[in-house]
Structure 1
Amino acid sequence: MSAPGFHATTDEVSAGVDLSARQVVITGASSGLGVETARALANCGAAVLMVARDAQKLDAAVAQVSQSVPGASIDTAIIDLADLDSVRSGAADILSKCPTIDLLINNAGVMACPLQRTAQGFEMQFGTNHLGHFLLTGLLAPALIAGAPSRVINLSSAGHRFAPVDMEDPNYHNRHYEKWQSYGQSKTANALFSVGLDQRLQGRGVRAFAVHPGMIMTELSRHMVPEDFAQIARGRKPEELPFKTVEQGSATSVWAATALELEGLGGLYLEDCHVAEPATPDGDGGVEAYAVDPVLADQLWQTSEDLVGEKFDF
């Protein structure tokens, strides 16, 4: 399977892929990229467990996927990633339904929200985008190991270029909160988590990847105002920005989950259905060195274990 690039859609990258008897778990599956990713993988024959925090929206998403893929095997779990108690109970529910997991796609996220706190007092973007997924993935690790060779796909973003992770104050207790800096930190954390997870589980057949889906207008953009688009545009007109459709935005997640050319690889940052090059100051794409640094990945891992109160024995 070749890497089709920016304009590729989910159906194009998954053409000919057979996921029969494979179990997929997708967070943030009640809207946008999560629904399309679930549809595409269900269309390949996978059993899909869709995860979200809003039961009503999740039911509507399940109906949407079921209508598009008649006979699809779909289950659900309710998890609020901004509440670690919900993550723990939801993970137990998933494990009871899925003793083996072949693909875990950590797709859920929040972007550029005002300063808010999670149930445990973490800054909302870092707490939801990273810590909730960190704990969930760790708790689901036994099923991923049982399903090996398996993959974990963590949705990062080109927004990681806004900021590295502040290991001393990731939750903005002692520094001024800036929503885009916070978003960037959380997306850098998603990339570093992919590196750290891959380091720890590759010997047991579990590989991890970070994905930049591209710019897509979904519910993730609900907190954005015109000034935010101006910041992202960097001097360009809004219509000149390289937006993708939902089908194009989900393609790299589906490619990361299924591409044969990624076998034996891991800890990589992917964009436009290929492995990203190093970032350059004048380019939109690429990955910053601090987002794939194994030393920083280890530091973040230790910090994350301390914050969620869970040590993982792998």
Structure 2
Amino acid sequence: MTQQWTSADMPDQRGRLAVVTGANTGLGFETAKALAARGATVVLAVRDVDRGKQAATRIAAAVPGADLAVQRLDLASLDSVRAAAAELRAAHPRIDLLINNAGVMDTPKQTTRDGFELQFGVDHLGHFALTGLLLDHLLPVPDSRVVTVSSLRHRGRARINFADLQWERSYRRLAAYGQAKLANLMFTYELQRRLASTGTTVALAAHPGTAQTELMRYLPGGQHPITTAIAGLITQSAAMGALPTLRAATDPTARGGQYYGPGGFGELRGHPVVVRSSRRSHDTAAQRRLWSISEELTGVAFPV
């Protein structure tokens, strides 16, 4: 595999429809723009419709003739997820790409409208529900893909705290984020196992390395000038951070169950390659347990 894959290597995406969550800013914006530049019809699924429309205007200015739509989606509300899925299903008879990109990181303790810990609820459960509700619009489509964005932070001491999934006994924001991003990978691997016999749809994951996005705002000292200066030395642009997602979504050689990330030192920066995830992420018993709990919490059953 080339070590220098860029968006210029993406195949023509004309005739394909992509739904990108969190597409109004950062990685999602760059992902949506790159897909539109290759001819895809792109739905920007966003919490704030006004900001989504502003993002669509910026993309259209950079990509004349871009085929764009904006869909309201609040991943912190299962009612909103269900409404968005129903509207997407009504508007689009087929979906080629579902990019589960949106997320929150290292937030103070908060809960979603359904009472889930915010990071687990938005980053994992919201996307779990959305995928399940849209999947039957992907299954008939050859080479359709579900790409879920994880993080380097799924490694280390991150684990699924089955005894206290919602962090009701104690809350550590970094550990909660690690759990959510580990859940993204475990969801991807279990989904791929269930999709393997379909012959049409695959599930992949990606991570951006250390990309400069709005997610940085909750990091301790994240707005301090010194922190910003240091971050500039080890981070890469959002456009570079989006490349692993774009490669997972469009590279003809990509295979279900693969995980893409930057190929540079420590996977912090660089062009996208297939990378390895943690040993815990491959625990099949934990994957299945998490899947069962996620179905129960969201009330969403998958058609596979």
Q: TM-score, normalised by structure 1?
A: 0.88
Deviation digits for residues 253-272 of structure 1 (CA, Å, limit 9, x no counterpart): 1111111221xx21222212
Correspondence list, 1:175-254, <5 A: 176-204=170-198, 205-226=200-221, 238=230, 242-254=234-246
The equivalent of 1:166 in structure 2 is 161
| 1:98-127 C-alpha deviation (Å, 9 max, x unpaired) | 111111100000000000000000000000
Q: Write the letter of the residue equivalent to 1:42.
A: A
8 A Cα contact 2:37 2:63, kept in partner: yes
Deviation by residue 1:209-252 (Cα, 9 ceiling, x = unmatched): 111111112111121222899xx9xxxx9358531111110111
Partner of 1:138: 132
In 2, distance between residues paired with 1:119 and 1:194?
A: 25
Q: Secondary structure at the match of 1:90?
A: helix
* Deviations 1:135-174, CA, capped at 9 Å, x for gaps: 0000000111122321111000001114111122211123
Match of 2:111 in 1: 117
8 Å contact from structure 1 (residues 268, 292) kept in 2 = no
Contact 1:125 1:182 in 2 (8 A): yes
Aligned residue type for 1:163: A
What are the superposed Cα offsets for residues 55-109 of structure 1, whole Å, 9 maximum, x if unpaired?
A: 1110110001111111111112101000000000000011111111111100000
Task: Say which SS state the counterpart of residue 99 (structure 2) adopts.
Answer: strand
Answer yes or no: is the 8 Å Cα contact 1:101–1:146 preserved in 2: no
SS in 2 for 1:303: helix
Question: What does residue 42 of structure 1 align with?
Answer: 36
Aligned to 1:89: 83
Aligned-partner Cα distance in 2 for 1:62–1:4: 31
- 2: CA distance, partners of 1:228 / 1:268: 34
Alpha-carbon distance in 2 for matches of 1:228, 1:308: 35
What CA RMSD, in Å, does the superposition of the two structures yield over aligned residues? 1.9
Counterpart in 2 of 1:274?
273
Cα distance in 1 between the residues matched to 2:231 and 2:143: 42
In the alignment, what sits opposite 1:295?
285
Contact 1:115 1:124 in 2 (8 A): yes
User: Structure 1 pair 288/241, CA: closer, same or farther in 2 (3 Å)?
Assistant: farther
8 Å CA contact 1:126, 1:171 repeated in 2: yes
1:27 to 21, 46, 49: 21
Identical amino acids, percent of aligned pairs: 39
Sort the Cα spacing of 1:167 and 1:267 in 2 relative to 1 into closer, same or farther, 3 A: farther
**In the alignment, is the contact (CA less than 8 A) between 2:25 and 2:55 conserved in 1?**
yes
Are the structure 2 counterparts of residues 213 and 227 from structure 1 closer, same or farther at C-alpha, using a change threshold of 3 Å?
closer
Query: What's the secondary structure of 1:51's corresponding residue?
Result: strand
Amino acid at match of 2:118: M
1:290: how far off?
0.8
SS of residue matched to 2:202:
strand
The answer for the alignment partner of 1:63 in structure 2 is: 57
CA distance in 1, matches of 2:60, 2:69: 11
The runs of 5 or more residues in structure 2 that have no matched partner are 263-271
Segment drifting more, 117-126 vs 63-72 = 63-72
Cross-structure match for 1:151:
145
User: Which deviates more, 176-185 or 205-214?
Assistant: 205-214
Distance 2:303 2:30 in 1: 34
Distance 1:227 1:76, change over 3 A: closer
Code of the aligned partner of 2:3: P
Give the aligned residue type for 2:81: V
